[in-house]
């Protein structure tokens, strides 16, 4: 019964989304306010209906209702509760329901917070949102219905893929989707603006908070996926340049570029055509990501069994929205007038350089990800493009970007002074040089470029700190004035600096673990001792143990450093009951200096095991860096100028006026 309610509300939501598509846009064309207002009500209604759908599916999972085919295939009564719930989106059908629910959530948020938007813009935005919803709802109902019943109902389900039974991966899809789908708002705003032909700095101000929120979620989502791959797959790596990873990374890159170009558009009324194009491309890349992951056209280590017919449907959706938006763009782009003149060396120039390098990097990732597919369809030859390609193309493009990051916020709009900025950065330059020299002295071995690359991370961090220091006149004014300036600095300035610091921290982590990782694969019998990166690991055997829905073999390694016991590592091999599948759990000892990481391999003769161990220096900083980036976004989002919806003056006359940023 509950499943039928869910199915029913799903179909109703499709009807509502069609209303939301047609009436508001028609109303905006005719200038009919009451038709335009249908959009808000429809967006709210659609969200409520999909919430019921999602709740119905969740109830089916939680109560293990195996008469529902989807639950039967992906759940098991012995599964822990967390994974019964995360099982809802741990499969194709359920994850698409989560996708449209997130889409509807963003749509209803626009309806709710967008009270100050011009009514015709709002109507067009909601209309475009409605059409995206309609396409995906039709996709779910016609190709991937999660509410199909089975009669008679079996007693037990086949269970969730064990490697998905993990806390980080439970929350990875919701965050990733919030990011992907959040970019749909920027897309809808872009298309709405193209429909009306009116694009001004206010447009950028409305779009930025949504883009920023989507970007924050995507940052965390990708980071969680990477963390999961690191400790669950047992390969000791954190990023594999795998097509599925690239599929989420490309929208992130385009979204990052969009965030920066929208600043130029908001402040200087320039880069309009480019920003609109980026907004379209960012969401198109999100759609492509969904297509690549859901269609299974690419060989990927992260691929799951999929149905090719569904891929064609998503491909059609992608072609319709991307093609339609680009056609509209081609027709309207020439009416967009460029404003705001500026010299090449200026804040605008720096942001253009940022956009140029990031989008070029994104294009390189795009080529590497799709080239095998293109080549195969043309010549039939099968190839794979692996990490060496991306390291040789993407990484060199990011180096000038990182060098330029500290300069950006220190250059003035219109005409910047690069010598002056360098003078303001002298402390950062000195500290970076010091860090590079210190790294050379301490590391001893490793690639000779590595300390320089590490210095890039330090440079970005120090640059961000220097910029705040310069703006509050640290060491140049009395302390009370510095404090007053610190208080009055807009939150967005802190947000920018924090996000840039996050980038720097992440770069240090990436360089540290890439350049100085130690790896060792050996056969070990109980009692054997092996050394890695100054630690000795003694294998004291394997004991069987029973988990809630698996049996495992837990190994114990006693780790000693300079003769004293430091910790014990417990890597294990699990054999799940349903489905009967083995997983590897790494034993990890985390510290600031790096992670000691051990994995049990296959059992050999006489109780010996293949053991793979790693020392990954500074690897934690990668994920800590992404969390700092997220926090930077959050701080920016609380800036009143960026508040969701059209920013308006506070009605309280006593509210302190913020100091203008420039």
Partner 1 sequence: MTRKQRRSVLIATCVAVLGIAVGLVLFALEDSIVFFYSPSDIAEKSVAPDQRIRIGGLVEEGSVRRGEGTQVQFAVTDTAKTLPVVYTGVLPDLFREGQGVVAEGKLGSDGVFTADNVLAKHDENYMPPEVADALRRQGVWQGEGPPPQTN
Contact residues for partner 1, defined by CB under 8 A: 161, 163, 233-234, 296-299, 301-305, 308, 341-344, 349, 352-353, 356-357, 360-361, 363-364, 367-368, 371-372, 381-386, 388-389, 392-393, 396-397, 521-523, 573, 579, 581-584, 599, 601-602, 604-605, 610, 612
Cβ nearer to partner 1, comparing 174 with 349: 349
Question: What is the smallest separation between the CB atom of 385 and partner 1, expressed in angstroms?
Answer: 5
Hey, CA dihedral for 641, 421, 275, 209, is it positive or negative? negative
Question: What is the smallest separation between the CB atom of 517 and partner 1, expressed in angstroms?
Answer: 16
Cβ nearer to partner 1, comparing 281 with 465: 281
3-state DSSP assignment of residue 60:
helix
Question: What is the smallest separation between the CB atom of 399 and partner 1, expressed in angstroms?
Answer: 11
Q: How far, in Å, are 10, 100, 101, 483 from residue 104 at the CA level? A: 12, 6, 5, 44
Cα angle 584-587-588, degrees, rounded to a multiple of 5: 130
Question: What is the smallest separation between the CB atom of 607 and partner 1, expressed in angstroms?
Answer: 14
Total Cβ atoms within 10 A of residue 259: 25
Question: What is the smallest separation between the CB atom of 603 and partner 1, expressed in angstroms?
Answer: 10
Cβ nearer to partner 1, comparing 382 with 651: 382
Cβ nearer to partner 1, comparing 55 with 306: 306
Cβ nearer to partner 1, comparing 343 with 433: 343
Cβ nearer to partner 1, comparing 206 with 342: 342
166, 232 Cβ separation under 8 angstroms: yes
Question: How far apart, in whole angstroms, are the C-alpha atoms of residue 477 and residue 205?
Answer: 33
Cβ nearer to partner 1, comparing 175 with 576: 576
Helices 272-295 and 243-268 meet at what angle, rounded to 10? 160
Question: What is the smallest separation between the CB atom of 476 and partner 1, expressed in angstroms?
Answer: 32
Question: How far apart, in whole angstroms, are the C-alpha atoms of residue 581 and residue 163?
Answer: 9
Cβ nearer to partner 1, comparing 119 with 579: 579
Tell me the H-state helices in 90-199: 92-113, 119-143, 167-196
Residue bearing tokens 């809808």: 188
119, 25 Cβ separation under 8 angstroms: no
Total Cβ atoms within 10 A of residue 218: 29
Question: How far apart, in whole angstroms, are the C-alpha atoms of residue 592 and residue 300?
Answer: 32
Question: What is the smallest separation between the CB atom of 414 and partner 1, expressed in angstroms?
Answer: 11
Question: What is the smallest separation between the CB atom of 51 and partner 1, expressed in angstroms?
Answer: 30
Maximal CA-CA distance, the chain: 82
Cβ nearer to partner 1, comparing 368 with 408: 368
- ω before 152 within 30° of 0 (cis)? yes
Cβ nearer to partner 1, comparing 233 with 644: 233
Residue 269 structure tokens: 């009324």
Question: How far apart, in whole angstroms, are the C-alpha atoms of residue 465 and residue 453?
Answer: 19
DSSP conformation class of 245: H
- ω before 194 within 30° of 0 (cis)? no
Question: What is the smallest separation between the CB atom of 601 and partner 1, expressed in angstroms?
Answer: 4
Q: How far, in Å, are 91, 98, 149, 214 from residue 5 at the CA level? A: 21, 17, 13, 31
Question: How far apart, in whole angstroms, are the C-alpha atoms of residue 197 and residue 131?
Answer: 20
Question: What is the smallest separation between the CB atom of 630 and partner 1, expressed in angstroms?
Answer: 26
Question: What is the smallest separation between the CB atom of 233 and partner 1, expressed in angstroms?
Answer: 7
Cβ nearer to partner 1, comparing 449 with 591: 449
Cβ nearer to partner 1, comparing 127 with 243: 243
- Minimal CA–CA distance to 565: which of 529, 594, 613, 541? 529
238, 513 Cβ separation under 8 angstroms: yes
Question: What is the smallest separation between the CB atom of 256 and partner 1, expressed in angstroms?
Answer: 16
């Amino acid at each position: 019964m509950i499943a039928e309610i869910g199915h029913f509300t799903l179909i109703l939501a499709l009807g509502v989304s069609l209303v939301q598509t047609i009436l508001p846009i028609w109303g905006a064309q005719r200038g009919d306010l009451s038709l335009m207002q249908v959009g808000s009500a429809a967006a709210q209604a659609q969200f409520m209906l999909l919430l019921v759908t999602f709740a119905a599916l969740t109830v089916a999972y939680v109560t293990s209702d195996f008469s529902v085919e989807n639950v039967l295939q992906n759940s098991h009564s012995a599964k822990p509760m967390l994974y019964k719930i995360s099982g809802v989106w741990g499969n194709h059908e359920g994850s698409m329901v989560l996708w449209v629910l997130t889409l509807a959530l963003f749509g209803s948020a626009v309806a709710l917070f967008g009270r100050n938007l011009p009514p015709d813009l709002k109507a067009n935005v909601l209309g475009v949102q409605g059409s995206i919803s309609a396409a995906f709802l039709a996709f779910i109902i016609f190709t991937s219905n999660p509410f199909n019943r089975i009669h008679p109902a079996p007693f037990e389900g086949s269970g969730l893929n064990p490697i998905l039974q993990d806390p980080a991966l439970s929350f990875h899809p919701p965050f990733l989707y919030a990011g992907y789908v959040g970019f749909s708002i920027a897309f809808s705003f872009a298309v709405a603006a193209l429909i009306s032909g009116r694009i001004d700095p206010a447009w950028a101000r409305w779009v930025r908070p949504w883009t920023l929120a989507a970007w924050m979620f995507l940052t965390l989502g990708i980071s969680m996926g990477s963390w999961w791959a690191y400790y669950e797959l047992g390969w000791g790596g954190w990023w594999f340049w795998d097509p599925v990873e690239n599929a989420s990374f490309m929208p992130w890159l385009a979204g990052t570029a969009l965030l920066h170009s929208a600043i130029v558009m908001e402040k200087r009324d320039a880069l309009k055509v480019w920003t609109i194009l980026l907004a379209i491309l960012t969401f198109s890349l999100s759609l492509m990501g969904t297509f690549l992951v859901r269609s299974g056209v690419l060989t990927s280590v992260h691929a799951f069994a999929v149905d090719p017919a569904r891929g064609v449907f998503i491909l059609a959706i992608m072609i319709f929205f991307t093609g339609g938006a680009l056609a509209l763009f081609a027709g309207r782009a020439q009416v967009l007038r460029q404003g705001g003149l500026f010299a090449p060396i200026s804040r605008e120039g720096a942001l253009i350089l940022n956009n140029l390098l990031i989008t070029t990097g994104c294009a390189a990732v795009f080529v590497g990800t799709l080239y095998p597919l293109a080549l195969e369809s043309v010549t039939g030859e099968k190839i794979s493009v692996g990490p060496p390609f991306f390291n040789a193309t993407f990484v060199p493009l990011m180096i000038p970007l990182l060098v330029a990051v500290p300069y950006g916020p220190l250059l003035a709009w219109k005409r910047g002074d690069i010598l002056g900025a360098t003078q303001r950065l002298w402390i950062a330059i000195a500290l970076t040089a010091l860090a590079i020299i210190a790294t050379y002295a301490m590391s001893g071995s490793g690639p000779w470029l590595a300390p320089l690359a590490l210095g890039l991370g330090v440079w970005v961090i120090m640059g961000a700190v220097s910029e705040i220091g310069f703006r509050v006149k640290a060491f140049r004014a009395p302390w009370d004035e510095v404090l007053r300036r610190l208080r009055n600095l807009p939150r967005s300035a802190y947000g920018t600096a924090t996000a840039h610091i996050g980038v720097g921290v992440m770069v240090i982590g990436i360089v540290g673990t890439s350049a100085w990782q130690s790896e060792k694969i050996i056969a070990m019998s109980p009692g054997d001792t092996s050394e890695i990166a100054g630690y000795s690991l003694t294998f004291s055997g394997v004991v069987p143990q029973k988990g809630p829905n698996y049996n495992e073999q837990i190994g114990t390694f006693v780790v000693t450093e300079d003769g004293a016991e430091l910790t014990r590592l417990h890597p294990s091999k699990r054999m799940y009951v349903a489905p009967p599948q083995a997983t590897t759990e790494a034993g990890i000892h985390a510290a600031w200096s790096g992670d000691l990481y051990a994995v049990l391999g296959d059992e050999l003769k006489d109780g010996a095991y293949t053991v793979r161990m790693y020392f990954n220096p500074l690897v934690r900083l990668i994920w800590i860096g992404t969390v700092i980036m997220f926090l930077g976004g959050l701080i920016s989002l609380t800036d009143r100028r960026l508040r969701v919806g059209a920013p308006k003056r506070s009605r309280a006359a006593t509210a302190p006026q913020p100091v203008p940023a420039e």
